Chains A and B, each alone.
Chain A
Amino acid sequence: MRSASSRVLSSTLLWPLLVLLGLLVVNVAANPGFIEVRVQDGRLFGSLVDIVRNGAPVLLIALGMTLVIATRGIDLSVGAVAAIGGAVACVHMVSAPDESALGTAIVACGLALATCVALGLWNGFLVSVLGIQPIIATLVLLVAGRGLAMLVTDGQITTVNNESFRTIGVGFVLGLPVAALVAWAVFALTALLVRRTALGMLVEAVGINPEASRLAGVRAVTIRWTVYVFSGFCAGLAGLMIAANTSAADANNAGLWIELDAILAVVIGGTSLAGGRFSLAGTFVGALLITTLAATIPNIGIPSETNYLFKAVVVIVVCLLQSPKARAVLRRRRTASATPAPPEGPPAGDPAPAGESSAPTLAKAGTR
């Protein structure tokens, strides 16, 4: 019934991808060297490499956030949890007898991840067992978490001297940044797990109607609990990367506002905050878009005073482009004016109804 082009056009991924492409074009126009990637000391070097490397923490956190949001939840604590993870790791290394040993780094990372998983357990417990609204339950750690991190670091920026630990943030393997490789690996494993098994479907079912899914035999409590634990784990890993990036744990600023970036990445990727439907590929593109946007600001020389505004404008454009209603209006106007060559080249007046992107999901969910 629908042509291939209309399917491409109605894909929620199309617009974020186009905006991403647009951002890259703007960057290259402002500075042709932006796209250059050269080999330096046996590894890749350039703005694009910086983007994938600096984007790794956001990508990881957005990954955890996607699953949480799919269960109709939200995890606001990820930034604070990341700060705690970094703090625990750095403080352990500094107080260890051999600060720069590989073993110390491994133990430190293990401790940090265990702490973050425990914090995820706490969040999950509040949400799934006690039934507290996710936004409130995770607000506890959003607010208290940085205090905990400061308690761990004693309010100081803890600088560590451990080359193995640094690798997580700034290392390169086969010329590629380790941070990005780790994030991608976790991403791929998760994608395999949720899409090749029934897990993804169960997560969606819980998101659509927790009570109905429970009655249908889905262990809703366990699933909701698990996604918060996973989100805590992702946040911890991201926190290690952030700390390793500057070899220092900064309880105040590590991962500050990263929860907002992650939520934005998830939403830009087409996952609905109402729960039930999620797109991991969308989150990937969304995270890439957010990081590219952050890199664009210094690259094209937007003054500090207006960089938030610039960020907001791009985000609102993406959201408008994705909104079924706004797209319907656009399409109608295009048909009405009957321009000789529509810029995107889709058949004008294509009868794809507005709001259809959400309709099939419900139908799909109904059949499950």
Chain B
Amino acid sequence: MLKKTMSAAAALAVGSLALTACGGTSSGADDASGGGGDDTITMGFAQVGAESGWRTANTQSIQDSAEEAGIELVFSDAQQKQENQIKAIRSYIQQDVDVIAFSPVVETGWDAVLLEAKRAGIPVILTDRAVDSEDDSLYETFLGSDFVLEGERAGEWLVENAEESDVDGDGDVNVVQLEGTTGAAPAIDRAEGFADTIASDDSIEVTASQTGDFTRDGGKRVMESFLNSEDGIDVVYAHNDDMGLGAIEAIEAAGMTPGEDIKIITVDAVKDGMQALVDGKINYIVECNPLLGPQLMELAEQVVAGEEVEPRVVTEETTFTQDEAAEVIDERQY
């Protein structure tokens, strides 16, 4: 009997542990029910996860600027899973927060939960990643980078530097692409923008493309394989810095010099990536600015006050060559 009770208690403990870790809707303040009554705006934010340095900088920016703006932030980490995000958004609806913001893990499958938020009268702001939905009344605005533009910028640099990028001098620039997580908006759009731009130059061709899941390990493994299976790779185009950093490791292990024997273009401009750019291991980085916290809080205040906002707000971004990176690296926050 005692044994039974004990195992039941232990199972219960396990269950509650699992719940807190999965749901992760940890509210910073004591008043989790939030919303409505007073003047303080309560924002429910469902983050993708903490998969990269970029993402943690993004989280940090949102948390800091919420505090600055006096907005009460209810934050959750979805650990890269859509179902966790949907759960978090549903719990925000139940808590009756004033505004919901989130970065969708994937592009599709949001209509049902967004409709629930709409019916509950809670405005939704998308940050960083878009959703693919016919009904754009489901969210107020989308604040974030233009991933297609990022892909285009990466492609433009390559078209302009096509001659130097043809490392083996055979007249063709063979590009291998390390894609982000399959189905994620940045992966789709960065590939699309890049492909559209390099189409203007017949000598540039993407010869192989495979997902590296936005991680260093993934980028390294895929690059190892490409180095063995593809002949005459001139350029690596990685959808984020981390995969590019993994590719650098693989290229070095193959006895080649990254940045010289194989040119590398990445997107993001996180610290480790910028360092590699300064060190000459990466040739070009298109910035994807994670510090959108202040803009988000401003939009949230406007939306809650019932003001009209632009349906699409693009974050300010730039690009870095090796020389430009050397100048700014010391003042970068992330």
Q: Which residues of chain A have a CB within 8 Å of any CB of chain B?
A: 30-31, 33-34, 36, 40-41, 45-47, 50, 54, 126, 130-132, 136-137, 139-140, 143-144, 146-147, 150, 155-157, 159, 170, 242, 245-248, 250-254, 294-295, 297-301, 303-305, 307
Contact = CB atoms under 8 A, between A and B. Distances in A.
A41 B254 CA distance: 9
Interface in B200-223: 208-211, 213, 215-218, 220-222
Contacts of A159: 272
B217 A245 contact: yes
Contacts of B98: none
B212 to A, nearest CB: 9
Nearest to A30: B229
Contact of A47 (B17, B52, B209, B228): B228
Contacts of A137: 14
A246 B216 contact: yes
A352 B267 CA distance: 59
Given A40-B254, A155-B56, A253-B217, A33 B229 contact: yes
Given A254-B217, A298-B208, A298-B229, A143 B17 contact: yes
B216 A130 contact: no
Question: Which secondary structure characterizes the binding site on chain B?
Answer: helix
Question: Which secondary structure characterizes the binding site on chain A?
Answer: helix
- For the complex of A and B, 4 pairs with smallest distance between CB atoms: A298-B225, A304-B211, A246-B216, A47-B228
B79 A33 contact: no
Contact of A304 (B49, B56, B209): B209
30 contacts: A31-B228, A40-B254, A40-B255, A47-B224, A47-B229, A131-B7, A132-B10, A132-B11, A139-B14, A143-B22, A144-B21, A146-B79, A159-B272, A170-B253, A245-B217, A245-B220, A246-B216, A246-B217, A246-B249, A250-B51, A252-B49, A298-B208, A298-B221, A299-B225, A299-B228, A303-B209, A304-B182, A304-B209, A304-B210, A304-B211
Interface string B301-316: 0000000000000000
Interface of B: 3, 6-7, 10-11, 14, 17-18, 21-22, 49-53, 56, 59, 79-80, 179, 182, 208-211, 213, 215-218, 220-222, 224-226, 228-229, 242, 245-246, 249, 253-255, 272
Given A130-B6, A295-B225, A253 B215 contact: yes
B53 A157 contact: yes
Contacts of A50: 221, 224-225, 228
A170 B14 contact: no
A130 B10 contact: yes
A132 B7 contact: yes
Q: Which of A40, A45, A130, A246 has the most chain B CB within a 10 Å cutoff?
A: A246
A301 B11 contact: no
A46 B18 contact: no
Nearest to A148: B21
Contacts of B217: 242, 245-246, 250, 253-254
